[in-house]
Structure 1
Amino acid sequence: MSSARAASRRATILEVAHQAGVSKTSVSRYFSGERDRLSETMQTRIASAAKRLNYRPNQMARGLKGGHSRLIGMLIADILNPFSVAVMHGVEQACRAKGFSLVVCNTDNDPAQERDHLALLAAYRIEGLVINAAGQPSRELKQLAEQGTPLVLLDRSLGELEADEVGLDNARTIDMALDHLSSKGYGDLLYLSEPTSQASSRQIRLERFEQQRELRGLTGRALSLSLDKEASSLEQAISDFLASPSQRPKALLCGNGNVTLAVTRALQAKGVVLGAIGLMGIDELDWCQLVTPGITTLAQPTKDIGRAATEALLQRLEPNGKAAPPRRIHYQPKLLARGSTQDPPTSTA
């Protein structure tokens, strides 16, 4: 055999077993998610041998043969959203630790793309799906669930679709935001959100804001709009809010990281001094601490959310796992107070 051909030939599981000094069964267990049945020393030997031989198991062939693809699907509504990226990292880490590979599809909040990706993931014979859905459940998603594929809903609810849900405690998050803003003396608030029809979490936050604002005797209003299509409307809404007379200090509360970025840009363009006008965002972004004097945020435990979603999904793959009732796993955010919500003047009139 020529050296070029030898270099291109795929290593076999038997060669890995020989190099590692273990049985073929042990190597198979290592790559099929049963590593806990092997000693740490044996795991290290197998990993080293596989790396030396550049061995990669054929997961598709494995799935066709044994009915287990070792593939987990993840459907993301907006991969440009920092929250999605951070949670995806947590999901991938948890999958890899359990011997699964992650297949990620982005829908751009487009129901048609969501249907296409669901069909693709079904063709790959995924063993479970973590989904950050756009809007209402599609026929394809319902079919996937009816076929017995475990689902975990990420940061969303889908009405009649019964599945585990993992995400933020959205009502408590709004309460924490209002508690903080009120404690700093802000009493006239503008809540800004992306369209609520695309995400149940956004709807919960908006409704909670309206309810709690009234109960707490705060003034202000809420507005949901598309950042891509209604940028000028966002800028006008901010201008109108800042220009309106008020005896109470004003603050803007942003429903997610995308809104925080858009609002920060608008305020900087107007030369607004943060603190005198309060600014607070849901979701921590790396740049929030870099913008003078620092933007106050409520940080989601994204890595924990991603790992919990994966663990919930894998539990459904255990014997009798599918029989358990749907679970709701909600996390609390962490307040990161910075200068954008410093104690304001007593009046902005």
Structure 2
Amino acid sequence: MNSFSAAQRSRVTMLDVAERAGVSKASVSRFIGEDRALLSDAIALRIEQAIDELGYRPNQMARGLKRGRTRLIGMLVADIRNPYSIAVMHGVETACRQHGYSLVVCNTDRDDEQERLHLAALRAYNVEGLIVNTLGHHLDQLLELQREMPLVLVDRKIEPLHSDLVGLDNPATVRMALDHLEQQGYRDILLVSEAPDGTSSRVERLESFKSEIARRPTLTGTVLEIDGHLNAPLHAFVRKTPARAKALFCANGVAALACTKALRELGLTLFEDIGLIAVDDLDWYPLVGSGITALAQPTEAIGTQAFECLLKRLRGDTESPRTLDFLAQLIVRGSTSPT
């Protein structure tokens, strides 16, 4: 057993091992690499003894870079504070660990320049694959990276990238929401959404809402994009005639929070004056009034599947890009139970 300190071990080099064992540096490299079988038993034993005596620890990152294998996966997210991104990221990271990979996460804060810098950094880190949950405004960089490594998209399509896409089945989610509201007796529906801004999932929800309303004669529907001034349009929606049962359909957690705040400021009774259903199922949904009815996204599963798609590509899968859409789960609470 050697008595080297951690600091001393960290300074031991491959050359030190070679000199102690009386062999070449190339032989030590073969021993700690994947070519140990090329060495004689006697030389392998001397190297093993020298490593033990010196307390040598190979630099795994350097070895990985030399072989083109770093076991690093990159993930680019638009907003790391978003609960959706956090949950998806956790699913990705858990799957990475289970397969012996480490995850490098870069947050763009929805800033195009930051996205450009992060993409360059991830390339410099020699990540083996990339998971992207941003708008992808730097298409030239993404296309270049895609030529070098597999790339998987989460929640948002980026044209013309031909990559696997994992996310929510938005048309089915909208149908589920409107089916529930219609069954509960609501007839006048206001979809509240952040501005699309090129985000494919938001666009899909808006388009699906309009097409579903058009084929349901018992319902009327309107779209309201969040611009920081919700009180006036929400008040007008609640008070407009005819006095039919009205409900808000919030396209995500951001819209749900904005609507809940506005309804409180307007002095409306949650949820007697108006119903509310929202995509996502955030921790605070059950705590508001009698609870907010949710269309929960399987975010952890989305993250896990994104990594599984990437792993298949890393292992040589050359099939055409796949789109994997998960179904939301309807969780009924008091916000859609008219009294």
Query: Shared topology, TM-score over 0.5?
Result: yes
Query: Separation in 1 of the partners of 2:91 and 2:251?
Result: 22
Which residue in the other structure is 2:294 paired with? 297
* Shift in CA distance, 326/81, structure 1 to aligned 2, threshold 3 Å: same
Query: Separation in 1 of the partners of 2:79 and 2:263?
Result: 25
1:144-293 map, 5 Å: 144-147=145-148, 149-217=149-217, 218-225=219-226, 230-232=227-229, 234-276=230-272, 277-293=274-290
Match for 1:266: what amino acid?
Answer: A
Which residue in the other structure is 1:347 paired with? none
Runs of 4+ in 1 over 6 A off after TM superposition: 11-14, 24-29
Q: What secondary structure, in the 3-state scheme, does the structure 1 residue paired with 2:233 have?
A: helix
* Count of aligned pairs: 299
Query: Separation in 2 of the partners of 1:193 and 1:57?
Result: 52
* Shift in CA distance, 127/239, structure 1 to aligned 2, threshold 3 Å: same
Output one character per residue of 1:129-149: Cα deviation in whole Å (capped at 9) or x when no partner.
1101225452111111122x1
- How far off is 1:186 after superposition? 0.7
Query: Separation in 1 of the partners of 2:157 and 2:122?
Result: 21
Query: Separation in 1 of the partners of 2:308 and 2:31?
Result: 24
- How far off is 1:224 after superposition? 2.3
% identity of equivalent residues: 50
Query: Separation in 1 of the partners of 2:57 and 2:231?
Result: 52
Asked if the contact 2:92–2:307 (Cα under 8 Å) also holds between the matched residues in 1, the reply is yes
TM (normalized to structure 1)? Answer: 0.80
Query: Separation in 1 of the partners of 2:220 and 2:140?
Result: 43
Output one character per residue of 1:63-108: Cα deviation in whole Å (capped at 9) or x when no partner.
2221111110000011121111000000000001111110001112
Match for 1:85: what amino acid?
Answer: I
Query: Separation in 2 of the partners of 1:315 and 1:13?
Result: 36
Match for 2:87: what amino acid?
Answer: A
* Shift in CA distance, 134/10, structure 1 to aligned 2, threshold 3 Å: farther
Give 5+ residue unaligned stretches, structure 1. 15-23, 30-54, 345-349
Give 5+ residue unaligned stretches, structure 2. 15-28, 35-55
Output one character per residue of 1:190-227: Cα deviation in whole Å (capped at 9) or x when no partner.
101112124100000001001111211211311223xx
Which residue in the other structure is 2:5 paired with? 6
Query: Separation in 2 of the partners of 1:132 and 1:157?
Result: 9
* Shift in CA distance, 296/25, structure 1 to aligned 2, threshold 3 Å: farther
Match for 1:336: what amino acid?
Answer: I
- How far off is 1:59 after superposition? 4.6
- How far off is 1:58 after superposition? 4.2
Larger-Rg structure: 2
Asked if the contact 1:135–1:198 (Cα under 8 Å) also holds between the matched residues in 2, the reply is no
Asked if the contact 1:167–1:305 (Cα under 8 Å) also holds between the matched residues in 2, the reply is yes
